[in-house]
Chains A and B, each alone.
Chain A
Amino acid sequence: MSYIPHTPEDLNKILSTIGIPNIDALFRSFGEKGAVFPHGALHTNRLSEKEVEDILNSLANKNIVYKPKNIFLGAGVYSHYIPSALESIVSRQEFYTAYTPYQPELSQGTLRAVFEFQTAISELLRQDIVNASMYDGATASAEAILMAYKKFRERKKTVLLAETLHFEYKAVIENYLTSYGINIRYIPSNDGIISLNAVKQLYNEDVFALLIQYPNFFGIIEENIRDILDFTSSKDIKSISLTIDGTVLPLLTAPGTLGFDISVLEIQSFGNPMAYGGPHAGVIATSKDLLRNLPGRIVGKTEDVNGQEAFVLTLSTREQHIRREKATSNICTNQALVALRTIVYLSLMGRKGLETVAKNSYKNAHYLAKLLTENKITLYFPTKKFYNEFLIKTQKAKYLVAELKKYGILAGYPLEEGLLVATTELNTKDSIENYIELLLRAGL
């Protein structure tokens, strides 16, 4: 296929206007052509739309997807319901084919939607300011730490991370921070949570920030957060929260209310498919105090020359296209369409709908935990409060995942000493009972 509209007559007219005999004349500055397509991977001829579709369909059919009610795997990516109206809205070309809204006069749709996104996320997290998205929750976490680092003018060099953080987030953060020479210390956990004492033992004058996942990787609501935040604020350490499945927020005290200085949120759960890991997106929310250190795009409200309400990208003096090597970050293209999906999702679900998603996700997980306990299956952290994810104690997690796969069930994420299980509103009473039956049959 070709998406080039030129007819031979058009080409002749263009060539004669430019005054060259052929197209090759335009490439004279390239000199010797060299061996192009040296690896022989690309086929020679164009394919028709039908042929391309057939190839992609056959690749798609090599994948196995599971019924939503049989997905008990989360570990950072969650299968939530997506209303049909969402796809209809975001597939409008005016949204998805547009560029970054540098020309506000022709971009009020995107700009207003992002402004509403900032409002809704600000309400969920209870922070003043929200940026317009980062690549994912992990890169957003790393950039949030860098904000705190820069706030202290790069004089302090140690950050504390809760050990109960998602392992991939740890890896990404470590990678981002090495270039700055920042030391990472992990706060050890006991019984699935970190303690104030553990924080105090690692504390010294060099510590500039502390990051806690809320709920943590094991699904647990860290119960010492309030005490830890009292401590960090007394020592002038910037506290950072990370929430991955944001559907918990209607039920859980907002991180901003608890007093976190910066809150990171992965927004995949809000209307974005699992998509084999991407595109998802992260956002960073904070107080006005840290605004100048915030990376990424921000939309602000203003007016046009007639005094009519208008929206624009603002505070661009933080950004790479103005500040170059002194910018807060190198980020340019972000995950704008994921943010649009999020605000459309939150608008469709509304206050009541999101609360239902939260309650059902919670209740399904707790029903599952209750039945497991009744069947003498041990939870790894039986006394801890959790949302929609928890760890089952077993040495045979990998085996269980493989066994239940035979029945079309994604059983969870296997760890060395346990199986991490997640539910959402899409699991059903039947699918939960069936899950337990098969788990018992496989044997723990």
Chain B
Amino acid sequence: MTISNIYKIRGKETDYIRESEFDIDIDFGIYKRQDQVKLPQANESQVVRHFTRLSTLNFGLDTGFYPLGSCTMKYNPKLNEKLASLVQFTDLHPYQSTDDTQGAMELMFKLAEFLRDISGLEAVSLIPAAGAHGESTGLKLIDAYHKANGGFRKTIIIPDTAHGTNPASSTMTGHEVISVKSSPEGIVKYEDIEPLINENTAAFMVTNPNTLGIFEQDMKRIAEKLHSVGALLYCDGANTNAWMGKLNMGELGVDVLQYNLHKTFSTPHGGGGPGSGPIAVSSRLIDFLPSPVIIKDGTKYEFYTPSKSIGKIKTFYGNFLVMIKAFAYLLSLGKDGVNNVSSIAVLNANYIRKRLEPYYFLPYNTDSMHEVVFTDKYQSEYGITTMDIAKRLLDYGIHAPTVYFPLVVKGAIMIEPTETESLTELDNFCDVMIKISQEAKENPELLRNAPHNTPIRRANEAKAAKDLILREENVF
């Protein structure tokens, strides 16, 4: 289906606002705009059809299985969307008096309490807008802590399995990254990291379970070592779906953990955002939390700036409408439901591991948690790559897994089913993956040229980077 761009659609524009009758001239002096802004000129009916047709070229979670590793693409409950669109939430101005916004503040206060409870840590800030924003905020708290306790510390130790955001966040907060190699079991061993920890260490930043889907068993021992030299432990909570109701991250020695509400807590990804990346912190960091936090003063909720706050990391209070959805989700689940989410998420991943192990190479034999990483090793005998397998999956109406990540695994295929996929969906996925492994042997061309049935065929990304066409050139 060819779809023209919105600028090529011409029609009579719909009147949404009547022109003002005030007889007042616009006077911006020499700053009056001389050129006309080129915006689309179409009727509502045409605009609606244009974007509706565009939507049919997308693949959403309600369309089909979305096994993107480390992204936790679980079902987004419809109730939550409805609740976040209530006008008493959407039409609140952030500078209204707190007398007007007690409901919103109570909601945020309680959500922070829920998230604090799940982590086992001591306090929560909801302000970060996404996971990476939570990371840099967490690192700023760590810096503030060190400055208050002897001085800035330069190094952050990060495992080679980490998300790219971890080292990028470290650089953005003025740090030097030391990479630590993971062991043949796929985790960071105490013996390997111990020599790297010293008085220059600001923190160890680790995802747990890590991006191989494996639990970092030595984390508690490492935390003790860190704390003994005044360093702190940052846990990237991208993979929280594996451990809720199963672990107390505070007891394991974590000082900061960032959540991703758009992963674990069912808020939609929106085609790339908005997300929300709250952070939970240990008692060491409470006084440094970003401004504002919400406190309950008697029966009234108020904004408050902690004594040694790092200040503002974003305007206002965070992605509030996203928080509403996560709050409704946690209300729905309760403790038992939250625990069950992690149980079934891990169960589903292990079912896929068991069924696909005979057909795809499993680089680590260690227990899998909520995701499992295979590679293209067996298929490479036939000249087939991970990318070919991923693209062939699209032909079967299944979104590709995360591919070529983590970087320590050659040709990684990282699969995270989440708990909301039924046995039927899991079986269909496994059957398709098995079929693709057979196609790789019998008809490799089919895979190399995949996808065949999607709205476009394989896109030329090199050409995009070379030509750099980054906007429509010929608008009227």
Contact = CB atoms under 8 A, between A and B. Distances in A.
Contacts of B246: 27, 30, 33, 36
Interface string B251-270: 11000000010100010111
Contacts of A110: 58, 271-272
Given A18-B351, A73-B95, A330 B40 contact: no
B34 interface: yes
A366 B24 contact: yes
Interface string A95-121: 111111101111111101101101110
Contact of B37 (A37, A118, A124): A124
Nearest to B81: A91
Contact of A4 (B97, B274, B344): B344
Interface string A26-65: 1111110111111111111111010111011111111111
B102 A62 contact: yes
Contact of B333 (A1, A221, A322): A1
B346 A27 contact: yes
B151 interface: no
B302 interface: no
B76 interface: yes
A103 B394 contact: yes
A335 B311 CA distance: 22
Interface in A120-150: 120, 122-124, 126, 128-130, 132-133, 135-139
A326 to B, nearest CB: 7
B234 interface: no
A83 B44 contact: yes
A278 B461 contact: no
A304 B174 CA distance: 41
B41 A356 contact: no
B17 A81 contact: yes
A82 to B, nearest CB: 9
B173 A179 contact: yes
B99 to A, nearest CB: 8
B145 interface: no
Given A300-B464, A302-B464, A367-B24, A116 B472 contact: yes
A94 B316 contact: no
A338 B382 CA distance: 44
B58 A89 contact: no
A368 to B, nearest CB: 10
B100 A64 contact: yes
Contacts of A330: 132, 135-136, 165, 168-169, 171-172
B374 interface: no
Given A118-B471, A168-B312, A275-B90, A106 B454 contact: yes
Contact of B71 (A99, A172, A306): A99
A138 B315 contact: yes
A104 B97 CA distance: 45
B433 interface: no
Interface stretch (A231-239, A357-365, A436-444): A357-365
A113 B328 CA distance: 30
A251 B32 contact: yes
Given A109-B55, A320-B164, A276 B94 contact: yes
A251 B118 CA distance: 51
Contact of A350 (B41, B174, B390): B41
Contacts of B143: 179
B114 A76 contact: no
Given A59-B103, A109-B58, A331-B132, A181 B317 contact: no
Nearest to A105: B454
Contacts of B463: 302-303
A314 interface: yes
Contact of B93 (A128, A180, A360, A410): A410
A93 B63 contact: yes
Contacts of B275: 333
Given A6-B422, A274-B91, A413-B95, A36 B247 contact: yes
Given A103-B394, A335-B273, A115 B471 contact: yes
Contacts of B399: 99, 103, 106
B185 to A, nearest CB: 10
A26 B346 contact: yes
B27 interface: yes
B120 A85 contact: no
A301 interface: yes
A59 B130 contact: no
Nearest to B313: A175
Contact of B20 (A65, A303, A359): A359
Interface string A65-77: 1101001010111
A434 interface: no
Contacts of B100: 63-65, 405
A279 B262 CA distance: 13
Q: Is the interface of B mostly helix, strand, loop or mixed?
A: loop
A251 B114 CA distance: 47
Contacts of B311: 171, 174-175
B148 interface: no
A337 interface: yes
Which of B89, B110, B310: most chain A Cβ within 10 A? B89
A314 B461 contact: yes
B454 to A, nearest CB: 4
A354 B14 CA distance: 11
A60 B455 contact: no
B83 A53 contact: yes
Contacts of B59: 94, 98, 103, 106-107
Interface string A302-335: 1111101111101101011111111101111111
Contact of A18 (B51, B110, B312, B350): B350
B164 A324 contact: yes
A213 B140 CA distance: 27
A169 B15 CA distance: 35
Interface string A220-248: 01010110000000000000000000000
A85 B168 contact: no
B87 to A, nearest CB: 6
A35 B37 contact: no
B92 A274 contact: yes
Interface string A422-438: 00010001000000000
B68 interface: yes
B432 to A, nearest CB: 15
A393 interface: no
Nearest to B318: A278
B40 A346 contact: yes
B103 A60 contact: yes
Contact of B19 (A138, A360, A367): A360
Interface stretch (A9-17, A185-193, A194-202, A372-380): A9-17
A171 B351 CA distance: 49
A259 interface: no
Contact of B324 (A56, A319, A363): A56
Nearest to A58: B103
A395 interface: no
B39 A181 contact: no
Nearest to A14: B351
B91 A79 contact: yes
Given A327-B168, A350-B39, A281 B274 contact: yes
B335 A118 contact: no
A385 interface: yes
Contacts of A305: 449, 457-458, 460
Q: Nearest 8 CB-CB pairs, A to B?
A: A277-B316, A62-B103, A337-B270, A336-B272, A277-B94, A109-B58, A279-B274, A330-B168
Given A30-B246, A367-B24, 20 more contacts: A11-B347, A14-B348, A26-B369, A39-B117, A46-B334, A60-B88, A63-B100, A83-B14, A89-B47, A89-B52, A93-B62, A95-B55, A118-B471, A135-B133, A251-B33, A277-B94, A278-B319, A300-B468, A303-B463, A333-B269
11 contacts: A1-B333, A5-B422, A94-B59, A99-B269, A126-B35, A129-B471, A175-B140, A223-B31, A325-B170, A330-B165, A364-B22
